[in-house]
Structure 1
Amino acid sequence: MKTKTIIHLRNLILVTILGMSGCSIDPSYYSEVVPETFYDSQTSVWQRFNRPFTHWRWYVASDAARWNMQELGTDEMCLPTRGSDWYNGGVYQQYHYHQFTPQLGDLYNGWYGFSMGVALAWDTMEDIEEHVDFDALGFEPGIRESMKAQQQTLVAYFYKDGLDFFGGVPLYTTTQSEVKGRSTAAETFQFIDSLLDAAIPNLPIKSTLGGMETGSISQAAGAALKAQLYFNANAYIGEDKFTECAQICQDIISGKYGTYALANDWTNIFGFKNETCPEIIWTVPSENSKLETDGGYYSTMHHYNLKNYLGGIDAGANNGYCLTPSLKPSGSVYTEFKLGKPYAKFESADVRKQPYVYTGTEQYKGMFIVGKLVNPLDGGTCLGNREYNGEIITMVDQVAPFKKLGKDYQDVASLPSKISTAEENSGVRLMKRSPMPTYADRLLRYNPDVPIIRLTEIYYMLAECKMRAGDLTEAANLINQVRKRYFANGVDPNPVTAANLDKYRMLDEWMIEFLGEGRRRTDLIRWNAYTTENWWDHSATNDPNKNHFPVHETILSSNNLIKQNDGY
């Protein structure tokens, strides 16, 4: 088992270990454990089964590279240079201006992340199918088929990410294969589709509303992945499959693939006991001190001293990510572009649009770190230690060097607002996935699971499909069924209507609902907006090649069968 894993996984993920020329590449044997002795209980089989899922947990909810690829360079999130902090060789400005290169470090993780997941899943199934006697170990009928289906679905998920980021990729069905070059985008699409077709009938169905989510893959999750594939088919392969997507979404909503319902309280989706939220279809499990996952990237998102606002919780942060600004240095809203301005796009009456405060007993309110950071419950403050050293920080929906007024700049009108001109308080911060408790409830930290697929996405996909088919009334109705939970007594001051639903309103609704959930780039590309639209400090490149990232140079150097994407 060790020999096969070392040799064939190395080939499958197609990466070069730096410095390999000076090292032995002969297989190493680390123990006497072999398949015949390892698979002696159901527990050992499940341990082997779960190995690809540990990689998946890291890739989708802990690895910042994947999140960066989906969020930075879009109209909703940025990582600006704050004085001497966060220039980092200009990589975050490269993202923002779509100046992608094969040397951009995150792109290595992007390729490694999906391809390693494929390798681990196939290797797991080969071991289990070859060496496990399910009957002898007392497994219930159907478990073997369910295990195989879940691994197939996991492969489909990873390959769908590869298709989304890079286009066609090498396609494998075994770890015993010779090294391959890239398949076409159409071949990759069809392969993913066939995997899901084979897997979905054998996936388990969730029959209890609000039943515990554990990270395993249900029929609804498999169907949702197929819907996502069809939803973006035009961007992936130039074929319109919105009608097929709409049917899958309707089937999910109607309960064909299991029992789910929209949550009435949005904090149940992301809160400290969200594993029983009826809306969640697939989630990354997380539990303090056991399976810790920070899907909100607290350390990069938040101010160095936000921990004191949270009652002194032991949570260090580096003051990086923020929402792209809605306001000019003067305080007026940007009107020069339609996309972006996320904080301003939330209605004032929206219960999410208030400062985040943990109110105790696993409850909280608000989704943003914004305004003067004085905790209204215990008086905890967040003090500056850069431009605003010793002052209580006021997070603003602007990016500008206000502290240089009267020095380098004579008036507000002359202040620049660029990704290179931020201060420590520039930009609203997001506290959504993996919300933080206060010090008093510090043992709850990391208890929120990280939602990957939820029923709201199904409603919104169906709405967009209806919109594209010309049924604007039904599209608006579907979106409004979700929006009403964010307003007192369900009274929405600005509901979606057939009259106001267009490309920009639809993109705004996706942004508002899924802000920071690692999908924005895909939505923009589907609407042909990623390379053709302007937003804050970003001018359209009008280069369709930018809809794919370049393949990292390390990946190319590891396998000369892999060709670089056009335009790079």
Structure 2
Amino acid sequence: MKRNKLNYIAAVALFLVAGASCSIDPTYYSEVVPDTFYASQENVWQRFNRPFTHWRWYLAHDAPRWNMQEFGTDEFCLPTRGSDWYNGGVFQKFHHHEYTEDMTEIETGWTNFGMGVALAWDALEDLEKIDFDALGFKEGVRESMLNQQKALVASFYIDGLDFFGGVPLYTTTQTEAKGRATAEETFNFIDSLLTEAIPNLPLKEELGGFEKGSINRAAGAALKARLYFNAKSYIGKEMFSEAAVICQDILDGKYGRYALDTDWTNIFGFDNETSPEIIWSVPSQNAKLETDGMLWANMVPYNFKNYLGGLKDSGSNNGCCLIPSRDPEGNLYKFNLGNPYESFNDKDVRKQLYVYEGNGKYRGMFIVGELRNPLNPDWVCTGDREYKDQVIVERDQIAYFAKVGKEYASVKDLPSTIATAEESSGVRVTKRSPRPNQDEFKRMFDPDVPIIRIAEIYYMLAECKMRAGDKQAAADLINTVRRRYFADGVDPDPVTAANLDKYRMLKEWMVEFLGEGRRRTDLIRWDAYVTENWWDHQATNNPNLNLFPIHYTIIGANNLIEQNPGYGGKK
């Protein structure tokens, strides 16, 4: 007889948090057991893939995880737009780092990484009991499956460490509830999982070989490099030299064959499963494995589907946008950080209005300016609030321009804050999960969502070399990536040993990885998350805010869980 172990984990490990009114009693089954269910290779693959289903949703579809990494930084915000998007002030709290133990988005950040851990260990325990030889599997498949589950656990735990510090550590679903391990214990546990898994992960030997979401050896190595790269933030120990060794090995092909893509749209586009740059990606296919890595509904303006010829099933809530680069009068902000749209050089091919050209081809990464489709001028995005039925003009500014002459005498009197936006405020991004026009609507969910790509390895190695004092080598690595964005590879503003400092490095991370759900981590690594000002954000200089609070329901359900310092009265 097999218990429903996931319910059991919810009861004792509190990774899957249940409300006080919900039953957490385990459910028992007598009909489906491993000996009867896993009677074919297909059944085994289904069992193997279940944790990856959660991972796919968590990494490429789950708004709270992306919000925790992007809101509260100098990249993105979700401003209050008139009467829209106040939402109890939660997004203003993110922006001002006013984190509290009752924020549901942060609760989800805990429960979702924890559910991933639970699902992966549960799958591993079942897979360990299967006779792979009797089912005709090729040699090495069992080891690959088991170690991919271990690497998947490590990836979820990295998120837990990044967001909250030390977390409860489990190696089985059959255990009692635990309190939090220290950050160092969590770090070492993740490290040990990856050390064990990496040699047994599949090796990608074909450059541009088809990516289907499995964890190849390079993905495991990249996760380990990420862990070491951020060790100073996580455990107060610099491990940049150790990260650099792994990065160099990845670039040298020790962990498989990868290369920079010459066209950035190939990395994020409609046939990107064969991009040589992608190390690990979330698979997507229309009507099968639909992913939405750019959180479309919350990102694009109302009625943007009409700019795409009335693209069906593409509604919008008109929410988040880039932090503005300019004040209401059009002046560029002078902060050391922020100004994301204006951080792109005007000659950068990405810095233009998104246009789907047909047959899977598109150009531009931004929704900005007048939203009239240049290939079909009848396709326009009109307003739905202040500019109802007018063609929207998206501004790299946040202010309530519609109130000029009514509540404000002139533009110079307009406030520009997280609380004073209108429907056309802020540049939007269509980087991950771009969408086609209506005449090719069946391609809507064809783009996979890159999670790790070789460009990140270049940038990690560059920063490691910069920190080691070799700025020229760092600049060369970054410029190797940058040149693909300019005609004939001529970069008008390359990185040099002379201009590479903390702020240029952070700017380069922003420009290359804008919207990919990592900005908070990069700012913390440079001690900039709580110490720097940017648009409508004043530094708190409170290092406790580098970690999120543990939601009160987590602590209420397991009294072994202790709150992070600085929250809940603990200083």
TM bucket by the smaller chain?
Answer: over 0.9
Instruction: Report deviation, 1:332.
Output: 0.9
Q: Tell me if structure 1 keeps the 8 A contact 2:10–2:17.
A: no
Give, as a single letter, the amino acid of the residue that structure 1 aligns with 2:452.
I
Q: Are residue 360 (structure 1) and residue 358 (structure 2) matched?
A: yes
Query: How has the CA–CA distance of structure 1 residues 26 and 535 changed in structure 2, closer, same or farther, with 3 Å as cutoff?
Result: closer
Q: Distance in 2 between matches of 1:562 and 1:43?
A: 40
Q: Distance in 2 between matches of 1:323 and 1:564?
A: 32
Q: Distance in 1 between matches of 2:159 and 2:4?
A: 29
Q: Are residue 500 (structure 1) and residue 538 (structure 2) matched?
A: no
Q: Tell me if structure 2 keeps the 8 A contact 1:466–1:472.
A: yes
Q: Which residue in the other structure is 2:79 paired with?
A: 80
Instruction: Report deviation, 1:391.
Output: 1.0
Q: Distance in 2 between matches of 1:521 and 1:546?
A: 11
Q: Decide which of 210, 213, 217 is 2:211's aligned counterpart.
A: 213
Measured against aligned partners, the alpha-carbon deviations of 1:256-313 in whole angstroms (never above 9, x if no partner) come to 0000000000000000000000000000000000000000100000111100001110
Q: Which residue in the other structure is 1:6 paired with?
A: 7
Q: Distance in 2 between matches of 1:234 and 1:69?
A: 20
SS of residue matched to 1:359: strand
Q: Are residue 70 (structure 1) and residue 69 (structure 2) matched?
A: yes
Instruction: Report deviation, 1:15.
Output: 4.6
Q: Which residue in the other structure is 2:478 paired with?
A: 479
Measured against aligned partners, the alpha-carbon deviations of 1:117-142 in whole angstroms (never above 9, x if no partner) come to 11111111111112x11110011111
Measured against aligned partners, the alpha-carbon deviations of 1:229-264 in whole angstroms (never above 9, x if no partner) come to 000000000001000000000000000000000000
Query: How has the CA–CA distance of structure 1 residues 39 and 435 changed in structure 2, closer, same or farther, with 3 Å as cutoff?
Result: same
Q: Distance in 2 between matches of 1:488 and 1:118?
A: 45
Instruction: Report deviation, 1:31.
Output: 6.7
Q: Which residue in the other structure is 1:255 paired with?
A: 253
TM-score by length of 2: 0.98
Q: Distance in 2 between matches of 1:26 and 1:465?
A: 49
TM-score by length of 1: 0.98
Q: Tell me if structure 1 keeps the 8 A contact 2:60–2:282.
A: yes
Q: Which residue in the other structure is 2:295 paired with?
A: 297
Q: Tell me if structure 2 keeps the 8 A contact 1:303–1:424.
A: yes
Q: Distance in 2 between matches of 1:234 and 1:187?
A: 14
Query: How has the CA–CA distance of structure 1 residues 13 and 140 changed in structure 2, closer, same or farther, with 3 Å as cutoff?
Result: farther
Q: Decide which of 372, 375, 378 is 1:374's aligned counterpart.
A: 372
Q: Distance in 2 between matches of 1:30 and 1:91?
A: 42
Instruction: Report deviation, 1:29.
Output: 4.1
Measured against aligned partners, the alpha-carbon deviations of 1:79-101 in whole angstroms (never above 9, x if no partner) come to 00000000000000000000000
Q: Distance in 2 between matches of 1:442 and 1:206?
A: 32
Instruction: Report deviation, 1:406.
Output: 1.4
Give, as a single letter, the amino acid of the residue that structure 1 aligns with 2:59.
V
Instruction: Report deviation, 1:16.
Output: 4.2
Give, as a single letter, the amino acid of the residue that structure 1 aligns with 2:194.
L
Q: Tell me if structure 2 keeps the 8 A contact 1:305–1:384.
A: yes
How many residue pairs get aligned? The number is 564
Q: Tell me if structure 2 keeps the 8 A contact 1:15–1:558.
A: no
Q: Distance in 2 between matches of 1:81 and 1:236?
A: 33
Query: How has the CA–CA distance of structure 1 residues 16 and 243 changed in structure 2, closer, same or farther, with 3 Å as cutoff?
Result: closer
Give, as a single letter, the amino acid of the residue that structure 2 aligns with 1:234.
K
Q: Distance in 2 between matches of 1:173 and 1:531?
A: 34
Q: Tell me if structure 2 keeps the 8 A contact 1:15–1:554.
A: no
Q: Are residue 427 (structure 1) and residue 426 (structure 2) matched?
A: yes
Give, as a single letter, the amino acid of the residue that structure 1 aligns with 2:463.
E
Gaps of 5+ in 1: none
Q: Which residue in the other structure is 2:321 paired with?
A: 322
Give, as a single letter, the amino acid of the residue that structure 2 aligns with 1:324.
I
Give, as a single letter, the amino acid of the residue that structure 2 aligns with 1:18.
G
Query: How has the CA–CA distance of structure 1 residues 345 and 116 changed in structure 2, closer, same or farther, with 3 Å as cutoff?
Result: same
Q: Distance in 2 between matches of 1:347 and 1:225?
A: 31
Measured against aligned partners, the alpha-carbon deviations of 1:121-171 in whole angstroms (never above 9, x if no partner) come to 1111111112x1111001111111111110000000000100000000000
1:15-94 residue pairs with structure 2 within 5 A? 15-20=16-21, 23=23, 25-29=24-28, 32-94=31-93
Instruction: Report deviation, 1:5.
Output: 3.8
1:177-216 residue pairs with structure 2 within 5 A? 177-216=175-214
Q: Distance in 2 between matches of 1:471 and 1:407?
A: 56
Q: Are residue 311 (structure 1) and residue 326 (structure 2) matched?
A: no
Instruction: Report deviation, 1:210.
Output: 0.3
1:145-544 residue pairs with structure 2 within 5 A? 145-314=143-312, 315-335=314-334, 337-379=335-377, 380-544=379-543
Over 4 Å off, 4+ runs: none
Q: Distance in 2 between matches of 1:8 and 1:422?
A: 43
Q: Tell me if structure 2 keeps the 8 A contact 1:395–1:425.
A: yes
Gaps of 5+ in 2: none
Give, as a single letter, the amino acid of the residue that structure 1 aligns with 2:564.
N
SS of residue matched to 1:282: strand
Give, as a single letter, the amino acid of the residue that structure 1 aligns with 2:238.
D
Q: Distance in 1 between matches of 2:27 and 2:147?
A: 32
Q: Tell me if structure 1 keeps the 8 A contact 2:9–2:15.
A: no
Q: Are residue 114 (structure 1) and residue 113 (structure 2) matched?
A: yes
Query: How has the CA–CA distance of structure 1 residues 303 and 86 changed in structure 2, closer, same or farther, with 3 Å as cutoff?
Result: same
Q: Distance in 2 between matches of 1:511 and 1:14?
A: 32
Q: Tell me if structure 1 keeps the 8 A contact 2:14–2:558.
A: no
Query: How has the CA–CA distance of structure 1 residues 8 and 15 changed in structure 2, closer, same or farther, with 3 Å as cutoff?
Result: closer
Give, as a single letter, the amino acid of the residue that structure 2 aligns with 1:362.
G
Give, as a single letter, the amino acid of the residue that structure 2 aligns with 1:465.
C
Q: Tell me if structure 2 keeps the 8 A contact 1:9–1:175.
A: no
Q: Distance in 2 between matches of 1:41 and 1:141?
A: 16
Q: Distance in 2 between matches of 1:430 and 1:91?
A: 22
Q: Tell me if structure 2 keeps the 8 A contact 1:14–1:559.
A: no
Instruction: Report deviation, 1:10.
Output: 3.4
Give, as a single letter, the amino acid of the residue that structure 1 aligns with 2:290.
E
Q: Distance in 2 between matches of 1:37 and 1:563?
A: 42
Q: Distance in 2 between matches of 1:230 and 1:117?
A: 22
Q: Tell me if structure 1 keeps the 8 A contact 2:272–2:447.
A: yes
Query: How has the CA–CA distance of structure 1 residues 550 and 26 changed in structure 2, closer, same or farther, with 3 Å as cutoff?
Result: closer
Q: Distance in 1 between matches of 2:240 and 2:18?
A: 42
SS of residue matched to 1:69: helix
SS of residue matched to 1:364: strand
RMSD: 1.0
SS of residue matched to 1:20: coil
Instruction: Report deviation, 1:316.
Output: 0.2
Q: Distance in 2 between matches of 1:555 and 1:2?
A: 24
Q: Distance in 2 between matches of 1:366 and 1:175?
A: 46
Give, as a single letter, the amino acid of the residue that structure 2 aligns with 1:17.
A
Q: Distance in 1 between matches of 2:483 and 2:108?
A: 39
Q: Which residue in the other structure is 2:566 paired with?
A: 567
Give, as a single letter, the amino acid of the residue that structure 2 aligns with 1:7.
Y
SS of residue matched to 2:431: coil
Q: Tell me if structure 1 keeps the 8 A contact 2:366–2:429.
A: yes
Q: Tell me if structure 1 keeps the 8 A contact 2:201–2:215.
A: yes
Measured against aligned partners, the alpha-carbon deviations of 1:472-523 in whole angstroms (never above 9, x if no partner) come to 0000000000000000000000000000000000000000000000000000
Question: Identity of paired residues, percent?
Answer: 66
Give, as a single letter, the amino acid of the residue that structure 2 aligns with 1:198.
E
Q: Distance in 1 between matches of 2:17 and 2:237?
A: 36
